[in-house]
Amino acid sequence: MFTDADGPVVVGRDLEKRYGQGPATVHALRGVSVELLPGSFTAIMGPSGSGKSTLMHVLAGLDRPTAGDVWLGPTRLAGLDDGDLTRIRRTRVGFVFQTFNLLPMLTLEENVVLPLKIAGEEIDDDWLERLLVAVGLQERRGHRPAELSGGEQQRVALARALITRPAVVFADEPTGNLDSHSTEILLHMFRRAGQEIGQTIVLVTHDPLAASYADRILFLSDGQIMHETGKLSAADVIETVASVR
Amino acid sequence: MLTFALRSLLARRRRAALTGLAVLLGVAMVSGTFVFTDTINAAYHGLFAATAKGADVVVGSRQGLYSANAQPASVPASLLTRIRALHGVAAAQGQISDVATIVGRNGRIVKNTGSPTLAMSYLPPPFTGLQFVDGNPPLGPNEVVLDENTARREGYRVGDRVQIVTVQPARRFAVAGLARLGNASTGGATFAVFDLATAQSLFDARGELNTIYVAGTTGTPPATLKREIAPLLPPGISVQTSAQETHADLHQVDDQLGVLTGGLKAFGFIAILVGAFVIAGALSITLAQRTNELALLRALGATRRQVLDAVLVEAAVIGTLASAAGLLAGLGAAYLIRAVLGASGVEVPSTSLVLELRTVLLAIAVGLLVTIAAGLVPAARATFVSPIEALLESRRPARPRLSPVLIGPVLFLALLGALFAFASVESRRDRLTVSVIGAVLFVLAAMLITPFVVPQLGRLVGWPLERGGRILGRLARENTTRTPVRTAVTASSLMIGLALVLFVSVYVGGVRASTRTAIDRTLSADYAIVNRDGTGSIPAPSARAVAGVPGVLAVSSIKQATADVAGAGQTTSAGIDPSSVGQVYRFNWVGAQPLALADLGPGDVLLERDTARAAHAQVGQQLQVASPAGLRANLVVRGIYTDRALLPGLALPLPEFDQLFNQIRVQQVLIKLAPDANPASTLAQIKASLNSVPGVVVRSQRQLRDQASGQAGSILALFYALLALTVVMAGLGIATATALSIHERTRELGVLRALGMTRAQTRGLVRDESLITAAIGTMIGAVLGIVIAWLVTRALTAEGVVFTVPWLQLALVIVVGLAVGVLAAVPAAARAARLDILSAIAHE
Ligand SMILES: Nc1ncnc2c1ncn2[C@@H]1O[C@H](COP(=O)(O)OP(=O)(O)O)[C@@H](O)[C@H]1O
Ligand SMILES: [Mg+2]
C-alpha cells in the first residue's frame, strides 16, 4: 500500500484551527506538528476542550485546518475535494467513535464489512474471520447491535475499523462509555492490533489507563502539545498530567 | 411547562418546521380541494341565478344551460301586455331563448367541447343578469352581444363583425358589446344576445315569447302575483315564483351534473384522508425521538400532566400556525388547478374562489386534530410505563406484529368487501352501490394491512436496488421497512391517488367501450344529420331535404326534450317516428319484443331500462310524464329497452311528443342507404341537399359512435386534475417524510460518510429510501385500483361495461409513482449530501 514503508504514515505540520471570528475566536489548535510512524501506537491526552478531537479530525481528513498541512502517507490533504477525501477515508483510515455508531438494522458481521461494501470492494474472508475471532465475536456474527453490550459493540467497531487494512486507525475516546472491565478488554485488542499486524493507531483519551497502553503519549493543552513521552504506566501518566498543568 | 414546550420547539427548529410543513400540506390538500369544488359548484349555480335576476315570477319555461337541446315552449307576445296591465305588476319583459353557433375569425365554428351554444334576446333592466364588460346592449337587426370568454378567445372586439349561424342561413352581425352571466364564467358555453325583435325573426318566433319575467310592485308577494297571472295563461304554460323556478333549476343542475357533484364530494373525502395521512406520516417519523424526550422529562421528575401539557402546547402551536398557512396554500392550489385546467383548454364554469366556513373548519380540524392525536401517542407511551422502561423502549426499533387486535377487523373488512362484491353479482338492483361499498371496504382493509406487508413488499421492490450485494440499497430498504407503520402511512396517500387514477381510467374506458358497443348494436343507420356542435337541435326541414335523394332508403327524425317522469325525475325524452325508426335503429328489448313499432300509437311510451327501474314501471303500466311547460300525459309503457347512448331515458311516438313539447326542430335525422346505393356519391348528394340548411353536418355511423363515446371529456379532465393534485400532495408528503427521516438519522449518515460513503452515494441512499416507499405505495395502489375497477365494472356488466386491464395506464401509473419517489427525495438528498460529517456525528 505504501511505497515508502519507513516514512511516517501521518504528518501534521504547524496545524492551526480557529473557530469563529473577532474577539469570540476559539483557538482549538495553535500550531501543532506531529509525525506518526508505521506501527506506532500513539495516545493523545489532555483535558476536555484541549483540542484532542480537533487534532484527530484534522489528521484524519475529516476536517480542514485553518493553517498548516497534513499528509496521509504520500498524499497532501490540502486542496483535495470531498470525493478525494472520501476515497482516502475509505482506504487509508479507520475510525472508532466514542458512541458505538453501529447500524442497528445490520448484523454484526454486516457492520464489520460495511466499509468494504460501501467502497464496492471484495471481502477477504480469511481476514474477516481473523478479525471476528480476534475481537471474540465470531459466534455472534449474525446478531444485531441491540443484542450486544456496549463493550462488545465497540469491539465490532474496532473490527470494522480494521477490515479495510487502513494505514492508521483513529479512535476518539473509544472507552468513554465503557465500564472498566470492557475498557481493558478493548484496549488489549488495540494493543494486539499494533503488535500482531503492525497497525498504526491514534488513541484520543483522557483516561490515564487507556494512555498507558500506548507506546507514545502526546499531552495537549489549550491547542498545543505541551509534552511528549514514551510508554508510561497509568500511575506515571497521572503524575505527568499533573505536572504538565 | 409552557416555556419548556416552547423552548424545545425552538431547539428542534428543523423538526418543527418539517412537521409544520406536513401539516400545511395536509391542510392545503383539504382546503384546496374544497375551495376548488365549491367554486365550480358556485359557478354552475351562479349562472342559473343570474338568468332569473330581478324577477319575482317567471312565466313559461326557461331554457337552462344544461338542456340546450330542449327547445322551450312559446307563449303569444300579447300575453306580455296583459300581464303588464295587472295590478300588482311593476315591470314585465319577455325573452326568446334558443341556440346559435358563433363562427370564429378563421371561418370555423367556435369549438366548445360539447357545451351549450345559447342564443337569447336581451332582457332590459331590471331583469338582465348580463354584466357588460364592454360596449352596449344590442340594438336593431344587425347587432349582437357576445359572451366575454368566447370573444376573448376568438379575438372579437366591440365594433367587429361576427358571423352567426341560427335556424336562418348564417348572417353577419356587428358586435355591440361583450358580457358575462352574473359573476361566473360560463365554462365552455357560448352565448349570443340579440334584441327581442331580432331574436323573434331569427328564430321563427314572430309574435311569440318563450319566457316572461315579472317584477311585482313593492308589497306584492310573489305568491299573490302568481295567483293573479295564472288565469291569463294558455293551457300548458306555467307560472312559478322565481324562488320555485331557481329551486327547480338547481335541482336540474344537480341532476344533470350528478357525476360531477358526486365526484367532487368524493374528492372532498379523499382530500381529508390524504391530508390526514400526510400529517400522520410526518409525525410518526419523529415518534421514537419524541417518546425518548418525554421519557427523559419523566425521568427528571415531570408529572404526567406536565408532559401532557408540553405535548399539547407543541401540537397546538405547530397545528395552528401550519393550518393557517395551509389554508392560504390551499387557496393557491385551487387557483393553480384552475389555471392549469384553463391553460390546457378544459373549460369549466368558474367564479372567484369560494372559501366556505365549512372548508376553514374542516381543514383546521384535520390539521389540528391529527397533529394533537399524533402528539398524544408518544405522550401516552412515555407516561404509562416507568420512565426508565420508556427510555429503553424508545431506543428499541419497533416492529409491528400482526396483533390479534388487528387481525379481526382486517379479516372482517376484507370478508365484508368480498361479500359485497359477491352480492354485487347476485342481486340485480343497486349493484353499483353495493360494489362501491365493497370497494371502499377493500381500500380500508388494504390500508390496515399495509404496515404488516411493508417488510415483504420492501424486499420485493428493493430487490433491484440491492442486487449484487449493494449495501446501500440494502440500508435504504432496511430503513424503510424497520418502521413499517410510518412507511405505510407515508405511502398511503400515494396509494390512494394512484389507485383512483387507475380506477377512473378503467371505469371510463369500460363505459366508453359500452357506449361504442351499444351504438354498434342499435344504430343501423349509415348517416346522421346533426347540429354542427354535436348537441344542439337542427331545423326540421333537414329530413325532407334528404328524403328525396336517390339511394336513400329511409329517413327518420328524432326529437329530444327533457321531461319530468313520475318517480324518475328529469329524464331525457326522445320523439321517434314509429313508421321509419325501425329501419335506422334496432331496439335492444328487455325480454321479448312487445309490439310492432309501427303499432306504437298515441298514449304509448317505451322506457329505457334505467328509467323503468327508477320509476318502478313495468310493461302495461301507466306512467305520468310532464313537459317543462307543465303539460302532463298519462302514458302506457309498451316496452322496455336498453340504450344509454342514443335513446337514454324514454321514447315516445312523434305525434304524442309534439303535443307534449310543442317543439319544431329535431335532434337528429338518421339516414339508411339502399343496399345498392353508391355510398360516396349518395353522401355527396345528401350533403348537397343540405346546402340550404344552416348549422348542420352529416356524420357517419362511426363518427357518431366516436363522438358519443368521447363525451364527458371536460368533467374527466377535472377529475384527473384533482387526482393529479392528490398525487402531487402525496409526493410532497413523501418529500417531507424523507426530509424528517434524514434529519432523524443525521448521525447515522455522518458515520457512513466517515466510513467512506461519497456524496453521490449519500444522495443515492436517500433516493432509494424514498423510491422504496413510493414503490410500495404504487404497488398497492395499482393492485387496489384494478381490483376496485374490476369490482365496479363487473357490477355493470349487464350495461355492457367491460373490464379490461389498462396496461398503458398501469405502466403510466408505475412510472409516475416511481418518479414521485425520485423527485420527492431531491431536497432531502441534497441536504444529506451537504451534511457536515463532524457535526452530524456529534448530532444526537
Ligand atoms: N465546531 C466548533 N465550533 C466552535 N468551537 C468548537 C467546535 N469544535 C470544537 N470547538 C472548540 O474547540 C476547542 C477544542 O475542542 P475539542 O477538540 O473537541 O476538544 P477535546 O476533544 O480535547 O475535548 C474547544 O474549546 C471547543 O469548544
Ligand atoms: Mg473530544
- ipTM for the predicted complex comes to 0.88
**CB-CB contact of B172 with B162 (8 Å):** yes
Q: Give the mean model confidence (pLDDT) for residues B693-714.
A: 73
H or E segment and range at residue B554:
strand B552-565
* 3-class secondary structure per residue, B304-354: HHHHHHHHHHHHHHHHHHHHHHHHHHHHHHHHHHHHHHHHCCCCCCECCCC
Do B63 and B100 touch, CB atoms closer than 8 A? no
Alpha-carbon distance of B671 to B52, in angstroms, equals 40
Cβ-based contacts of A64 with chain B (< 8 Å): none
pLDDT at B781 over 80: yes
Q: Are B17 and B739 in contact (CB under 8 A)?
A: no
Kindly report the CATH number that applies to the domain delimited by A38-53+80-244.
3.40.50.300
Of the candidate ranges A69-78, A216-225, B53-62, B675-684, the one whose mean pLDDT is the lowest: B53-62
Q: How far is the CA of A242 from the centre of ligand 2 (A)?
A: 19
Q: Please, which residues have CB within 8 angstroms of residue B198's CB and are 6 or more apart in sequence? A: B121, B138, B140, B141, B143
Looking at beta carbons, which residues of chain A come within 8 Å of B745? none
Q: B397: how many CB neighbours lie within 10 A of its CB?
A: 12
Higher pLDDT, B27 or B595: B27
3-state DSSP of chain A: CCCCCCCCCEEEEEEEEEECCHHHCEEEEEEEEEEECCCCEEEEECCCCCCHHHHHHHHHCCCCCCEEEEEECCEECCCCCHHHHHHHHHHHEEEECCCCCCCCCCCHHHHHHHHHHHHCCCCCHHHHHHHHHHCCCHHHCCCCHHHCCHHHHHHHHHHHHHCCCCCEEEEECCCCCCCHHHHHHHHHHHHHHHHHHCCEEEEECCCHHHHCCCCEEEEEECCEEEEEECCCCHHHHHHHHHHHC
- Pocket lined around ligand 1, Cβ cut-off 6 Å: A 19, 26, 28, 46, 48-54
CA distance B822 to B767: 6
Task: Tell me which residue has its CA closest to atom 14 in ligand 1.
Answer: A51
pLDDT confidence of B391, banded at 50, 70, 90? Answer: low
> What's the pLDDT tens digit per position in B164-186?
877 666 788 999 999 887 766 66
Set of cell numbers at residue A224? 498545543
Cross-chain residue pair A105–B479, CB shorter than 8 Å:
yes
B contact residues 733-772, partner A, Cβ 8 Å cutoff: 747-748, 751-759, 761
Q: Min CA distance, B743 vs chain A (Å)?
A: 16
pLDDT at residue number B87: 84
Establish if B841 touches chain A: CB-CB under 8 angstroms.
Answer: yes
A105/B478 CB distance under 8 A: yes
With beta carbons less than 8 A apart as the criterion, state whether A137 and A154 touch.
no
Contact B162, B156 (CB under 8 A): yes
* Residues with Cβ within 8 Å of residue A243, at least 6 apart in sequence: none
Q: Do B757 and A86 touch (CB under 8 A)?
A: yes
C-alpha cell at B604: 304509448
Enumerate residues 685 to 724 of chain B having a beta carbon within 8 A of any beta carbon in chain A.
none
**What is the per-residue pLDDT for B67?**
46
d(CA B279, CA B729): 11
Residues of B in contact with A106 (CB under 8 A): 475, 478
Whether the CB-CB separation of B18 and B743 falls below 8 Å is answered with yes
Tell me how far apart the alpha carbons of residues B168 and B201 are, in angstroms, rounded to a whole number. Answer: 9
Phi-psi region of B613 (alpha: psi -120 to 50; beta: other; left: phi over 0): alpha
Cβ-proximal residues to B259 (8 Å cutoff; 6+ apart), any chain? B712, B715
Report whether pLDDT(B439) > 80. no
By the 10 Å C-beta count (0-12 exposed, 13-18 middle, 19+ buried), A3 is classed as exposed
Atom of ligand 1 nearest to the CA of A55: 17
Residue B659 has pLDDT above 50, yes or no: yes
Mean pLDDT score, B66-74: 53
pLDDT of B414 higher than 90: no
Pairing between β-strand B650-653 and β-strand B569-576 as defined by DSSP bridges: parallel
Q: In what order do the strands lie in the sheet with A93-96?
A: A93-96, A168-172, A200-204, A41-45, A216-221, A224-229
pLDDT of residue B262: 67
Contacts of A157 in chain B (CB under 8 A): none
Separation in Å, CA B750 to CA A151, A166, A168, A213? 22, 19, 20, 29
Q: Has residue B46 got a pLDDT over 80?
A: no
Q: Which of A148-157, B97-106, B280-289, B417-426 has the highest mean pLDDT?
A: A148-157
Can you tell me the distance from the alpha carbon of B111 to that of B248, in angstroms, rounded to the nearest whole number?
A: 30
Which residue among A57, A99, A114 sits closest to B755, beta carbon to beta carbon? A114
Q: Per-domain residue ranges for chain A?
A: 38-53+80-244
Q: Using a CB cutoff of 5 Å, list residues around ligand 2, an ion.
A: A 53
Q: What is the mean pLDDT of residues B343-362?
A: 76
User: Which among B478, B479, B756 has CB closest to A118?
Assistant: B756
Closest of B109, B26, B177 to residue B489, by C-alpha: B26
Residues of B in contact with A97 (CB under 8 A): 751, 754, 841
Q: Do A114 and B471 touch (CB under 8 A)?
A: yes
In the three-class reduction of DSSP (H, G, I as helix; E, B as strand; rest coil), residue B21 is classed as: helix
Lowest model confidence (mean pLDDT) among B249-263, B351-365, B502-516, B763-777: B249-263
Q: Does B388 touch chain A (CB under 8 A)?
A: no
Specify whether the backbone of B123 is left (phi greater than 0), alpha (psi in -120 to 50) or beta.
beta
| Residue of B812 and B204 predicted with greater confidence | B812
Cβ-defined contact of B759 to A83 (cutoff 8 Å): yes
C-alpha cell at B56: 319575482
Q: Is the pLDDT of residue B53 over 80?
A: no
User: How many CB atoms lie under 10 A from the CB of residue B468?
Assistant: 6
B838 touches chain A (CB under 8 A): yes
Residue B715: count other Cβ atoms within 10 Å of its Cβ.
17
Q: Lowest-confidence range among B383-387, B507-511, B778-782, B819-823?
A: B383-387
Q: Residues 6 or more apart from B819 whose CB is under 8 A from it? A: none
pLDDT at B533: 61
> Rounded to an integer, what distance in angstroms lies between the CA atom of residue B119 and that of residue B154?
18
Report residues of chain A scoring pLDDT below 50.
Answer: 1-3
Q: Do A117 and B471 touch (CB under 8 A)?
A: yes
B478 touches chain A (CB under 8 A): yes
- Partners of A146 on chain B (C-beta within 8 Å) are 396-397
Note the pLDDT of residue B258. Answer: 56
CB contact under 8 A, B482 and A119: no
| pLDDT value of residue B432 | 64
Choose between A87 and B665: higher pLDDT: A87
C-alpha cell at B777: 405505495
Task: For B838, name the nearest residue in chain A, comparing CA atoms only.
Answer: A62
Average pLDDT (B322-338) is 88
- Nearest in space to B122 (alpha carbons), one of B55, B198, B217, B214: B198
* Nearest residue, CB atoms, B756 vs list A90, A104, A110: A90
**CB-closest option in A97, A110, A115 to B756:** A115
B843 in reach of chain A (CB within 8 A): no
Band (pLDDT 50/70/90 cuts) for residue B422 is low
pLDDT category at B294 given cuts 50, 70, 90 is: confident
> What average pLDDT does range B589-611 have in this prediction?
84
Would you put residue B248 in left (φ > 0), alpha (ψ -120 to 50) or beta? alpha
SS3 assignment, position B813: helix
Q: Enter the DSSP assignment of B708.
A: H
With beta carbons under 8 A apart, name residues in chain B contacting A103: 475, 748, 751-752
Q: What is the rounded distance in angstroms from the CA atom of residue A139 to the CA atom of residue B592? A: 82
pLDDT given at position A66 = 94
Ligand 1: atom nearest CA of A56 is 17
Question: Does B838 contact A62 at a Cβ distance shorter than 8 Å?
Answer: yes
Q: What is the pLDDT of residue B64?
A: 46
Closest chain B C-alpha to A114 CA, distance in angstroms: 7
β-bridge mates for residue A220, sequence order: A225
Question: How close is the nearest chain A Cα to the Cα of B477, in Å?
Answer: 10
Distance of CA B537 to the CA centre of its chain: 26
B587 or B842: which carries more pLDDT confidence? B587
Nearest C-alpha of chain B: how many angstroms from A99?
9
Angle at A142 between CA A136 and CA A145, to 5 degrees: 75
| Residue B703 clears pLDDT 70, i.e. is over it | yes
Q: Is the pLDDT of residue B396 over 60?
A: no
Closest CA to B341 of B718, B31, B29: B718
The per-residue pLDDT for B66 is 41
- pLDDT for residue B817: 94
What's the pLDDT score for residue B542? Answer: 78
pLDDT of residue A11: 95
Query: Would you place residue B450 in the very low, low, confident or very high pLDDT band (cuts 50, 70, 90)?
Result: confident
Q: Whose CA is nearest to atom 5 of ligand 1?
A: A19
**pLDDT more than 90, % of chain B:** 14
Select the highest-mean-pLDDT range: A33-47, B136-150, B206-220, B297-311.
A33-47
Beta-carbon contacts of B753 under 8 Å, excluding residues fewer than 6 positions away, are: A86, B762, B835, B837, B840
Phi, psi of B278 (to 5 degrees): -60, -45
CA of A48 to the centre of ligand 2 (A): 7
**How far, in Å, CA of A82 to CA of A93, rounded?**
15
Length of chain A, in residues: 245
Please state whether the peptide bond connecting residue B126 to the residue before it is cis, i.e. omega within 30 degrees of 0: yes
Residue in B closest to A92 by C-alpha: B756
Q: Which atom of ligand 1 is nearest to the CA of B838?
A: 1
